[in-house]
Amino acid sequence: MGPMTHPVVAADLASSADYAAAVASAVAASAAYYTDGSSPLGDDEYDALVRAIEAWEQAHPQDVLAESPTGKVAGGAVQGDVPHSVPMLSLDNVFSAEELADWAAGLERRLGRAPAGWCVEPKLDGLAVAARYRAGVLQQVLTRGDGLAGEDITHAADAVLGLPGRLAEPVDVELRGEVLLTTAQFEEANRIRLAHDAAPFAHPRSGAAGTLRAKDRPYRIELTFFAYSAIGLDPDLGHTALLERLAALGVNTAATTAAAPRRCETVEQVQQRIAEITGLRAELPFGIDGVVVKADDAADQQQAGSGSRAPRWAVARKLAAEHKVTRLLDVEWAVGRTGIIAPRAVLEPVVIDGVTVTYATLHNPADIERRGLMLGDQVFVYRAGDVIPRVEAPLVDQRTGNETPIAFPEVCPRCGDQVDRTEQRWRCARGRNCQAVASIIYAAGRDQLDIEGLGSTRAVQLVEAGLVADIADLFTLTREQLLGLERMGETSADNLLAAIEVARGAALGRVVCALGVRGTGRTMSRRIAAHFGSMAALRAADTDTLAEVDGIGTEKARLIAAELAELAPLLDKLTAQQVGVQVEEPQRAAAATEAAADGGAVGPLAGEAVVVTGSMTGQLAALSRNEMNELIERASGKASSSVSKRTTLLVAGEKAGSKRTKAEELGIRILTPEEFADLVADHLPQT
């Protein structure tokens, strides 16, 4: 498609010329979307444009253009050459709870009564396909195309998980469903493509479209199929029963996910389930762009019937788009506490899922070059839930010729020293010394050394006065040195020295975390400390030994080993100051001693995989999330941040949200903070 730098929006449709331009924009965007996912319009913009076209056509029915996308499957933008056995229809959309209620009331009027029940399921953001089986063996896979005929993509079937080559029973059936890249598959696909010098996919949907149509690639990219319908099975099966039948045949459905299809008896229950699925959106392992509501019973579906484009018994409740298109204005370069020089995109402000986004992540210079980004580009920006927005790809077809190359830093943007470009993530040659203040503030944090009174202002004073160059220097500070600082009184100096002295006895895991070793965090630091038992043993560890720690593979082990080698002078200073000698937290050490005295008894959470969510209350209210994780480990449990089938216990505080919903669906035991405190009472921190 040609450049479309000024797509028409709803407010512009004031004349027949505006209408014609809007139709052209919508058709072009739809063609790109259904071909390879590279539409120049985000979902919200496209939906608004089509609704504006519909409104204009209702007011001017005599002037409707033949190429208008309204009333057509896929907006009339695509065709196929293999006829479908039964037309593959699109869904009508609603965009609010009020519109959904109006649609449901209209269906009730059509039926002359309320439907016997509703099924509510996620609207998967992929490509609709039909898979034909004869005697239980897969014969052919087609895209939806224009709804009447599709494109044969059988060649890609062996890379689609959830679409079995042979069903559990020798039935003749045509499955209807969605093929997509899960989040993990999308990341792996881009890793594979970059390894083969191919441009990364802009987002999962474009990746799915491109992968299904590609032939003779020198690499394999896996996708996932989710069935949502079928032709050829018992026609009297309701939708919920049909999904259960498909699962019994060995076909993947959304029933395996936290947003599983659910039967609801009333519209109020439907609205509640939509809210629950919306809350789960950021945690789902794949993208959704809405929630589908269907009359569940076959008799209701048959009575309601279908139009030329969509069934009358089903509708899509669209959600705010997580992908948007905006302009890349600039790239800023920031230096992190370990000296990493990270690029950040400055964007023309765009609202994504109710949040105005002006900055987004750019991974590293090599990634910028591979994506071919330029200043002034129209770019895809992605944001899901609380995830930091990221720039995914430029819309090359939208370039005007006024775009300019992105300037990469020749020297460190903070200190002016040389830049180490030997790895994908560039780094200041001074490493951590470039950001001594940031390193000290981080090390003094509550979940690291927990040095009360050492905030950002004090850290800047200590560094600028030449008293502290790294965290080891904190333990050599004297009262006289502190009293020489501006606004430092005797009481403040004594309190800070006392807090530093307490930090000298911090557990090894906290000291390791305070070092800010790349590739580790709070949980991994505790695992490392528990595995090696002493700073000396950790320093003597090689790559193979580090790789034995739970959660550290060979690649991360190499990084950590290199980091420890770089930190050797600092570790020497810490050892001289007797910092990091304490292996465990005092409470944990005491519990271990008691366990040994009891013949090796373990804590009450032995064998438990525990997730904490929401605001803690009661005895746990004062604990940070890191301290909660430490408590879980003291009680012999394993702490995790996300709910999965491996989770055995959820501690749900106030405003627990989607994690509680997912735990309930998986049948996971749920405790209140007070119940959990009673369970681990013997392991609570001493007050």
Longest dimension (CA), the chain: 90
Under 8 Å between Cβ of 10 and 25 = no
Spell out the residues 6+ positions from residue 4 whose beta carbon is closer than 8 angstroms to its own.
Answer: 25, 28, 29, 40, 397, 398
16-36 and 43-59 helices cross at what angle (nearest 10)?
140
DSSP string, 71-128: TSGGGG----SEE-SS-----EEE-SHHHHHHHHHHHHHHHTS--S-EEEEEEESSEE
Phi-psi region of 397 (alpha: psi -120 to 50; beta: other; left: phi over 0): alpha
The DSSP bridge pattern shows strands 223-231 and 160-161 to be parallel
Helix/strand number for the chain, H first, E second: 23, 23
Q: Which of 123, 318, 556, 662 is catalytic?
A: 123
Sign of CA dihedral 131, 134, 140, 144: negative
Distance CA 110, CA 113 (A): 8
Q: What angle do CA 273, 278, 284 make, to 5 degrees?
A: 110
Spell out the residues 6+ positions from residue 275 whose beta carbon is closer than 8 angstroms to its own.
Answer: none
Task: Enter the tokens of residue 76.
Answer: 């009339």
204-213 and 183-195 helices cross at what angle (nearest 10)?
60
Distance CA 334, CA 412 (A): 9
Q: Output phi, psi for 427, to 5 deg.
A: -145, 145
DSSP bridge pairs for 428: 419
DSSP string, 454-515: --HHHHHHHHHTTS-SSGGGGGG--HHHHHTSTT--HHHHHHHHHHHHHHHT--HHHHHHHT
215 is catalytic: no
> What b/e readout covers 309-328, taking b as 16+ CB neighbours within 10 angstroms?
bbbbbbbbbbbbbbbbbbbb
Under 8 Å between Cβ of 387 and 282 = yes
Q: What angle do CA 595, 598, 601 make, to 5 degrees?
A: 50
Task: Calculate the alpha carbon distances from 540 to 370, 504, 514, 523 in Å.
Answer: 39, 22, 19, 21
The amino acid occupying position 43 is D
Sign of CA dihedral 120, 125, 130, 134: negative
Task: Calculate the alpha carbon distances from 160 to 37, 205, 217, 289, 563 in Å.
Answer: 18, 14, 15, 21, 40
Task: Enter the tokens of residue 375.
Answer: 């200043």
Q: So which residues are the catalytic ones?
A: 123
